[in-house]
Structure 1
Amino acid sequence: MPLTSGKQAPQGSPSSPRFYLLDFARFLAALAVVFYHFVSRDADQWPRSTRGMFPDLSIISSYGYLGVQLFFIVSGFVILMSTEGRTVSSFAAARAARIFPAYWLAVIATACLRTWTAPELGDGVTVPQVLVNLTMFQVPADVSHVDDVYWTLWIELVFYIIMACLMAAKVTYRGYTIFLAVYPSLMLLVAESEDLRLIDITGAKYFSFFALGMCLYLIHKHGSKFELWLLFAFNAAIGIHNTLYFSVPNEPTDGRFVTDVGVAIVVVAIIALMTVLTLTPFKHRGYTWMTKAGALTYPLYLTHHYWGLWLIGRLEPTMGRWLTLAIAVAASLIVAYMLERWVERPVRPRMRRLLQRVLS
């Protein structure tokens, strides 16, 4: 989703070692988001509040939304790594082939669910809304998401665009260190402003987490240097500040289970975990099944929300809370596997080759 020196091949080549535990951490973060949506946010599909139905689990999973921060750190690390030895066109083709096939199917399937099968999940969607969502540009177009969880995808896409620009500018190591000091500072100013549209379009509240991943990759590749650790600490401080300032007061968890201290501890733990999984001897430990689990992360994130809630509403009256929850999670994993196995895996290489020909 690394290089201890410039001599190793980029990940994805036959000689490149996998980051098994990093893959598995992504998968666990996706599961945390799933449990957050299923048992920490009140939904009409449950007969009463999630706190009343899952008193202990709901409190723990209230912090599951912070899995998104882990996703962004991983992306910062992996995407910078993936630029090694690539042209801008090959990078763009690879990223588009990675994010769009499963996303297109998820958008269409969720739109059908909300319009015809389960209109109780919210207002139905319109054809223009779906078409804009298919571009992934619904945020700058000021169009509602077909599924609320798609908000992170625009932020991810903005990061890809930034990385493509840095590649086009042929930024060197020194250029990256300057960028990792200046751009997060600008994004902090944007995040502190009252321009909500600009905040949403730039993804200002979350860029520091991508920057953290980039810092980790540069340390991994170039070794432990003072300026890199200083940038790492700087972006970690911004990330913790932004999470506490913007996220805690607004999280729609039942009873406001999350606390400032709890959120700070979880975010620090995530940053520490990512450091261990990328910079210590643990980075290449693990098993091949962890990579397969990691491959389910994206399709699981795309499809679990509305489909899982719909299934909960259908099953809970007859099966009870725990069995319903288990089936909803299992079904989400099965759907994710099907998307990865029969959509992403066969379509991605074909789409990448096609886009490379077009862009070249």
Structure 2
Amino acid sequence: MRIKILDGLRVLAIFIVMLYHYYSRFYGELYEYTINTKFFFKFGYLGVELFFIISGFVIFLTLRKTKSLKDFIKKRYIRLAPGMLASSILTFFFFYLLNPPFRSEAGELKNLLFSNTFLSPSFSALVLKDFNFNYTDGAYWSIWVEICFYIFVSVLYYLNRTHIIRNFSLFNILGTLLYFLNLNLPSLGLQRIALLSVFFDVFNFFRYALWFLIGIYLLRLYESRERKFLVGITAILLILCLISNSVTVTLFNILVWFIIYSFVYRPHFIEFLGNSFFSRLGVATYSVYLIHQNLGVLFISKLSPYFGPYNFVLGIFAIIFSFGIGVLLYEVFEKKAAKKLYNLLLSSKN
């Protein structure tokens, strides 16, 4: 059964990310507004972390409903491939056709092909040193983090289903400690360990690993109401506050804690996120995410001269544009292609 509030949380997450990209990330670099919005929306990058929490929840639930590692890999491919193919082709088409003076990598065929492998440019640089690949859209970076999560959690799950929570928690926490220890060695007057640096550069999952663990704990809290999982979530959020040493992250984590508590114990507080409108948008957020950055920024930069001092409204128009295109891609291609892939790869006849 689909949990509709999660769809609403996906919409909230992508909305926050779009505010960041349209009003902060590229402000002053590709366009400016009469109102300086860079500071007010700089928190928006944290919407990706909210996606990671949702992913931890959903992927762990998926694992428990999947018989084998092979079937799990097939399910993930079915979920990711159609949206990436449609979104990357659309982005490539516009950047190749219009050839804007920024993000030139988006209009290169080699990057279109590479993006559909779901690999990281850091990984390709390590393995294929003579080739220089990039993403068609920079927003794809988080998909590789998701892929790493799928690999690590699924391998641990199918090795030992009984103790998966314990094993993944230990793996997650140990990896996070090693990542941040190695990262901060220079501040102690020591050099970073070269092998670890290469590993963490390629598998950048560990920078965000604790967010996925929150999602897994949230699922267990949602199912069992055991307070130990709420304590675990609270402890992780506090650790993330200390690691970041940021007021912005602290405020965001307080909001996340409130959402989690409401989701489990006071769902009426956030029940509006489960309405049909948010559900309709929520199922398409993967496609929306994949097309929103480069196409949305291209949309704003091209139209800004025509709106003069009122060009700040273009960010809102870009949000509507991205949701519209994303939902269209989902309905016209992603959903239908996923169904055909499912019949091909997971049909009972195979």
- What is the alpha-carbon distance in structure 2 between the residues aligned to residue 199 and residue 268 of structure 1? 28
Partner of 2:75: 94
Q: How does 1:234-249 map onto structure 2 within 5 Å?
A: 234-242=235-243, 244=244
AA aligned opposite 1:217: L
Q: How does 1:206-355 map onto structure 2 within 5 Å?
A: 206-226=208-228, 228-242=229-243, 244=244, 260-282=246-268, 285=271, 286-319=274-307, 320-355=310-345
What SS does structure 2 have at the residue aligned with 1:121?
coil
Q: How does 1:163-174 map onto structure 2 within 5 Å?
A: 163-172=153-162, 174=163
Partner of 1:136: 118
Change in Cα spacing, 1:233 to 1:330, as seen in structure 2 (3 Å) is closer
- What is the alpha-carbon distance in structure 1 between the residues aligned to residue 160 and residue 287 of structure 2? 33
Change in Cα spacing, 1:229 to 1:267, as seen in structure 2 (3 Å) is closer
1:150 aligns with 2:140: yes
- Superposed displacement of residue 269, structure 1: 1.4
Q: 1:66 aligns with which of 46, 66, 88?
A: 46
What SS does structure 1 have at the residue aligned with 2:297?
helix
- What is the alpha-carbon distance in structure 2 between the residues aligned to residue 75 and residue 171 of structure 1? 19
- Superposed displacement of residue 137, structure 1: 0.8
**1:276 touches 1:282 (CA, 8 Å); kept in 2?**
yes
Q: Deviations over 1:108-160 (max 9, x none)?
A: 22233333313312334543333222101134213322211111000011111
Partner of 1:27: 11
- Superposed displacement of residue 43, structure 1: 4.9
What SS does structure 1 have at the residue aligned with 2:40?
helix
- Superposed displacement of residue 189, structure 1: 1.1
Change in Cα spacing, 1:274 to 1:339, as seen in structure 2 (3 Å) is farther
What SS does structure 1 have at the residue aligned with 2:116?
helix
Partner of 1:252: none
AA aligned opposite 1:157: I
Q: Deviations over 1:226-279 (max 9, x none)?
A: 3x344334432343344x16xxxxxxxxxxxxxx21221112312331342245
Q: After TM superposition, what 4+ stretches of structure 1 lie above 6 angstroms from structure 2?
A: none
What SS does structure 1 have at the residue aligned with 2:260?
helix
Q: How does 1:35-74 map onto structure 2 within 5 Å?
A: 35-41=19-25, 42-46=27-31, 48=32, 50=33, 53-55=34-36, 57-74=37-54
What SS does structure 1 have at the residue aligned with 2:207?
coil
- What is the alpha-carbon distance in structure 1 between the residues aligned to residue 219 and residue 173 of structure 2? 17
AA aligned opposite 2:299: L
- What is the alpha-carbon distance in structure 1 between the residues aligned to residue 173 and residue 232 of structure 2? 10
- Superposed displacement of residue 205, structure 1: 0.6
- What is the alpha-carbon distance in structure 2 between the residues aligned to residue 269 and residue 123 of structure 1? 37
Compare 145-154 and 321-330 and name the one that shifted more.
321-330
**2:56 touches 2:214 (CA, 8 Å); kept in 1?**
yes
- What is the alpha-carbon distance in structure 2 between the residues aligned to residue 157 and residue 332 of structure 1? 24
Change in Cα spacing, 1:93 to 1:68, as seen in structure 2 (3 Å) is same
Partner of 2:199: 198
Q: 2:94 aligns with which of 87, 91, 113?
A: 113
**2:288 touches 2:322 (CA, 8 Å); kept in 1?**
yes
Partner of 2:186: none
Change in Cα spacing, 1:45 to 1:232, as seen in structure 2 (3 Å) is closer
- What is the alpha-carbon distance in structure 2 between the residues aligned to residue 23 and residue 176 of structure 1? 25
Q: Which runs of 5+ in 1 are unaligned?
A: 1-15, 246-259
Aligned length: 322
What SS does structure 2 have at the residue aligned with 1:136?
coil
CA RMSD of aligned residues (A): 2.5
**2:14 touches 2:47 (CA, 8 Å); kept in 1?**
yes
- What is the alpha-carbon distance in structure 1 between the residues aligned to residue 81 and residue 28 of structure 2? 29
AA aligned opposite 2:220: L
Compare 176-185 and 146-155 and name the one that shifted more.
176-185
Compare 205-214 and 306-315 and name the one that shifted more.
306-315
What is the TM-score when the length of structure 1 is the normalising length?
Answer: 0.81
Change in Cα spacing, 1:157 to 1:221, as seen in structure 2 (3 Å) is same
Q: Which runs of 5+ in 2 are unaligned?
A: 126-132, 183-191
- What is the alpha-carbon distance in structure 2 between the residues aligned to residue 295 and residue 33 of structure 1? 17
**1:216 touches 1:279 (CA, 8 Å); kept in 2?**
no
**1:212 touches 1:235 (CA, 8 Å); kept in 2?**
yes
- What is the alpha-carbon distance in structure 2 between the residues aligned to residue 324 and residue 269 of structure 1? 28
**2:120 touches 2:202 (CA, 8 Å); kept in 1?**
no
What is the TM-score when the length of structure 2 is the normalising length?
Answer: 0.83
- Superposed displacement of residue 86, structure 1: 1.5
Change in Cα spacing, 1:80 to 1:280, as seen in structure 2 (3 Å) is farther
